Amino acid sequence: MTCSSDGICINLHRSMNFRSNMSEQIKFIIQELNKEPFNKKFNLISFDSLRTDILLQILNDVFSEVDSKMKMDVRAEDPEQMVLKSLNFLRILKYKPPETMEMSEFRQGLVTGEKSVIYHILEWILRRMPELKKRAYLAQFLMKVELPPDIEGDADIRELYDQYENVIEEFKEVHKQYEALKSSGFSTQEIRKDLEHMEEERDQLIKKIERLKMKVESHPNVDAMLSVAKSLREERDLADSLNRQKMEQRNALTHAEQKIQRLNQQLKELKLSSLGATPETLVQKLEESIKVNSYLVKEKLPKEMASQRKYISDLQKIVSQPALSHADLEQINKKIQDVNNEIHEFIENRMRNNNPIDDKLSLFRQQVSILAHKKERAAEDLNSARAQLVNLQAQLETRKSDSKGSEGEYLKGDEFKRYVNKLRGKSNIYKKKRQEMAELKTECGILSRTVDILQQKESALTKTLV
């Protein structure tokens, strides 16, 4: 075969490869549809000549095999509703359209029963039937209900939704346990064999016990020995129990000592803070502390929780949706650009109008926004400082316990000052000695060099005399 140009050859090869792939795809679909539970009797010619409504009905039959709730008569169903149900079902199954096909083209092909679209879906599902059945089953319990924004802030609804999410998490754990048991490999036959083996071991143990009883009963002091053995076992059990209680009491004592140290430290801090303080200043400090904590509990933390919940909800929506194609991303970017342009136009129109009242209101809003941001930053700094304080206190307790364990009681007050002065004196002595050693080393080097020079002169004089 010859080609008039390279481009024609490439197109011809591509067309041949596409037809070959299409033929293999149709063969696989026919092979699967002719099996249980579909029991069709198609061949290449009969399947390829199917009408659109029959092809869509076959697609729906495959859907209903994955999930029985999808079963319907496509001729009696509204086309738009049918396409919405199919798209939602494919989204649950995490189906991805061909990369070479636009999303709008894919939706249109699903409406019109385009063969390339239907064939691709059929092949994808028939190759993953067990996996997709499991996914469709789990989706009934794991696909969360989306709350409308107008009722999302309601406390009762929020509480019910939290309970709903907790039930979903419990279902996940139970399903994991079920899958683990299912894949553990235990079968009824193996369990029956294990039971038979355990019964044999039980019979052997019974026989062994009977033989030991016969040996023991022939002993003259059997009752006394059994009584002593029983007492020994009871005393050992009692000793183990006392050891456990001893360890528990030691741990409780350690915790109590740590708590006492912490309370003493708090007492010292309170005494220092109360020096020179009046009842009015103490009340003022308490009021300020209450205001800060109230702001954190009633305003800052609920906002952060709502923001995190919205972020998680957005992530769940993204995960549940099929992967976006390049065309979908371009369309979203275009919408974002259009919205940004509208915002800029709105701002320009407001600036052109230049209403003095609006200017004053915007100034007040800006000042309120600045104060709110300062308040949030101060709250964040306070939380950070509190966390740092807790961390430093924990480190201090650790250092104290380490110093106690290694050297007994740690030094306090005047003792620590005397210890520091003693160390400072030893450090000064060490520095002087080190300086003397350096001077001695220098003098030793000079003397060694002098000895070398004198030896050289001696050898030279000796040669001249000889």
- In the numeric block, which tokens belong to residue 111? 């409406």
Per-residue pLDDT tens for 56-82? 999 999 999 999 888 888 888 888 888
For 146-197, what is each residue's pLDDT tens digit? Answer: 777 777 777 777 788 888 888 888 888 888 888 777 766 556 777 788 888 8
pLDDT at 124 > cutoff 90: yes
Measured distance CA(313)–CA(389) in Å, rounded: 34
Q: How far apart are CA 116 and CA 109, in angstroms?
A: 8
Looking at residue 341, what DSSP letter applies?
H
Alpha-carbon distances, residue 403 vs 219, 253, 301, 323 (angstroms): 61, 18, 39, 59
Q: For residue 320, which of 28, 95, 116, 126 has the smallest C-alpha distance? A: 95
Q: What is the pLDDT of residue 1?
A: 45
Higher per-residue confidence, 106 vs 378: 106
Question: pLDDT tens digit string along 41-60?
Answer: 888 888 888 888 899 999 99
Structure tokens belonging to residue 430: 């060490």
What region, left, alpha or beta, does residue 94 occupy, with left being phi > 0 and alpha being psi -120 to 50 degrees? Answer: left
pLDDT per position as a tens digit, 409-433: 555 566 777 877 888 888 888 888 8
Collect all residues with Cβ–Cβ distance below 8 Å to 85 and sequence separation of at least 6.
70, 72
pLDDT-based confidence at residue 121 (cuts at 50, 70, 90): very high
Residue 393 neighbours by CB under 8 Å, 6+ apart: 262, 265
What is the structure's pLDDT at 400?
A: 67
pTM, whole model, 2 decimals?
0.39
| Inter-residue contact 143 to 320 (CB < 8 Å) | yes
Q: How many residues does the chain have?
A: 466
So what's the pLDDT on residue 402? 64
Q: What is the DSSP string of 352-408?
A: HH--HHHHHHHHHHHHHHHHHHHHHHHHHHHHHHHHHHHHHHHHHHHHHHHHHHHHS
pLDDT reported for residue 359: 58
pLDDT tens string 346-362: 877 766 665 555 556 66
Residue 186 has a CB neighbour count (10 Å cut-off) of 11
Provide mean pLDDT across the span 281-293. Answer: 79
Query: Quick one: pLDDT band at residue 126, thresholds 50, 70, 90?
Result: very high
Which pLDDT score, from 0 to 100, does residue 427 have? 84
- Of the given ranges (3-12, 22-31, 46-55, 118-127), which has the lowest mean pLDDT? 3-12
Residue 172 tokens, joined: 């996940």
The one-letter code for the residue type at 89 is F
DSSP secondary structure letter of residue 37: T
Average pLDDT, the chain: 80
Q: What percent of the chain has pLDDT over 90?
A: 9
Across 101-115, 117-131, 266-280, least confident range:
266-280
* pLDDT given for residue 237 in this prediction: 92
89 contacts 70 by C-beta, under 8 angstroms: yes
User: What is d(CA 297, CA 379) in angstroms, rounded to the nearest whole number?
Assistant: 11
Among 142-146, 304-308, 396-400, the range scoring the smallest mean pLDDT is 396-400
CA distances to 410, 413, 421, 423 from 416, in Å:
9, 6, 9, 10
pLDDT at 4: 45
- Model confidence band, residue 92 (pLDDT cutoffs 50, 70, 90): confident
Q: What is the pLDDT of residue 227?
A: 83
Q: DSSP letter string over 130-146?
A: HHHHHHHHHHHHHSPPP
Predicted pLDDT of residue 68: 87
The token pair at 120 is 């691709």
pLDDT tens digits, one per residue of 300-332: 788 888 888 888 888 887 777 766 677 777 888
Collapse the DSSP code of 412 into the 3-class scheme (helix H, G, I; strand E, B; otherwise coil) and give the result. coil
Asked if 92 contacts 136 with a C-beta cutoff of 8 angstroms, the reply is yes
Closest-CA residue to 449 (of 457, 459, 461, 437): 457
The fourth-level CATH superfamily of domain 14-142 is Intraflagellar transport protein 81, N-terminal domain (1.10.418.70)
CA distance 81 to 403: 75
